[in-house]
Amino acid sequence: MSAIYNFCAGPAMLPQAVMQKAQQELIDWNGLGVSVMEISHRSKEFIALTEQAEITLRQLMNIPKNYHVLFMHGGGRAQFSNVVNNFLGDNGRALYLVSGQWSSAAVSEAIKLVGESQIDSLDIVEKVNGLNQVNLPDLHAIDKDYRYVHYCSNETVDGIEIFEELDSPWPVVADLSSTIMSHEIDVSKYGLIYAGAQKNIGPSGLSIVIVRDDMLKLPTLAQSSVMDYRVAVEHGSMFNTPPTFAWYLASEVFAWLAANGGVSAMAEVNQQKAALLYSCIDANPFYKNGVAPQNRSRMNVTFQLVDESLDAEFLKQAEQAGLVALKGHRIVGGMRASIYNAMPIEGVQKLVNFMEQFAAQHA
């Protein structure tokens, strides 16, 4: 059987070495004779796992001491409401930068909770020569007092990525669900970072939150204790039973990243993978991509067949070749190849070969 390469946007493929290790120790973890899924989250073995996970994550991302690392429930979207409930109180205002589907969904959730009077949003994507391009506004020129500015560094659905770090007078709250640890960032530039785990970290349902100490002094709204950042800090992310198996897998992914050169090594390969795919799209008039070169996502490569009537045939033949989950998000259509850290460059090369062949066949 030849290898299957899974380009799903999320839940996405996990490193094969991690999956094999998890398989081996599924019913007997750490010599305990039971699964890591079956032990108390308060057992010394599990606590040791969480401590190691945090140490490794802190090393991988170079997280400063004045930041807390939380492992929470609810994936990416839970944080859309958590940041509002934890930071805005009944009169704080926030600015949202909108660059695509996910940042726009974050605005809707915020407005639902506190109303439009507390939420401002700015559309930062423009069409320039027919291509979607991000234009970051000069935030220092905005004469308003915001508790935070929220943005999404990589729009997983639209294939739009923002590579610059925001220069902001207010704390930056960033949705890094689909870019976390895909390249190096300076954590000290952020008030809070969050990410649903299912793209670059582990199974769905888990969210990673990295929050600067002083953010926890902002006025809160009444909210569920499970979603309260202060409660999570106080209880070591164990106010209630955490998603222990997801936490375990995340810790294995962190260890895998560390053993494979860390984030800078990932970034290098990620750049090569994306370059391979975009050059194939650009070199071939059979395919197109609607994102300005400086904002082309390195994680989610969106592309279209110029002749859309061949979409179904493309997907069918790709699947036969072992290249699965290439269909674009239902909202935007077309194709999308998600190439997170776990996708080896061989998978991308195989996709490029297939795309060239398919184009030649149908030219």
Binding piece for ligand PLP, criterion CB under 6 A, among 72-80, 116-124, 180-188, 339-347: 72-80
Dist. CA 92–CA 340, nearest whole Å? 36
Phi-psi domain of 289 (left: phi exceeds 0; alpha: psi -120 through 50; beta: other): beta
Nearest-CB residue for ligand PLP: 75
Q: List the 172-175 sheet strands across, edge first.
A: 67-73, 206-212, 192-196, 172-175, 148-152, 94-98, 119-123
Binding to ligand PLP by residue 242, rule CB under 6 A? no
| Closer residue to ligand PLP in complex, CB, 244/297 | 297
Given 58, 77, 93, 230, the residue binding ligand PLP (CB under 6 A): 77
Q: Which long-range contacts (CB under 8 A, 24 or more apart) does 285-290 make?
A: 286/358, 286/359, 286/362, 286/363, 287/355, 287/359, 289/159, 290/130, 290/131, 290/132
Q: Is 102 in the site for ligand PLP (CB under 6 A)?
A: yes
Structure tokens at 291: 């994102």
Among 99, 132, 156, 251, binds ligand PLP (CB under 6 A): 156
Residue 189 CA to residue 38 CA, distance in Å, equals: 39
Smallest separation, CB 310 to ligand PLP (Å):
28
DSSP assigned state of 285: T
**Binding segment toward ligand PLP, per CB under 6 A, in 74-82, 224-232, 306-314, 354-362:** 74-82
Contact between 230 and ligand PLP (CB under 6 A)? no
In the set 6, 81, 121, 178, which binds ligand PLP (CB under 6 A)?
Answer: 178
| Contact present, 359 and 303 (Cβ < 8 Å) | no
Which residue's CB is nearer to ligand PLP, number 196 or number 262? 196
CA Rg value for the chain: 21
Q: Which is nearer to ligand PLP, 161 or 228 (CB)?
A: 161
| Pattern 193-212, ligand PLP, x by CB under 6 A | ---x--x----x--------
Alpha-carbon distance of 207 to 80, in angstroms, equals 11
11 prior amide bond cis, ω within 30: yes
Contact status: 76 vs ligand PLP (CB under 6 A):
yes
Beta bridge partners of 119: 94
Active site residues: 102, 175, 199
Q: Could you say which of 10, 191, 328, 334 contacts ligand PLP (CB under 6 A)?
A: 10
Q: Rule CB under 6 A: is residue 118 a binding residue for ligand PLP?
A: no
Binding interface with ligand PLP (CB under 6 A): 10, 75-77, 102, 152, 156, 175, 177-178, 196, 199, 204
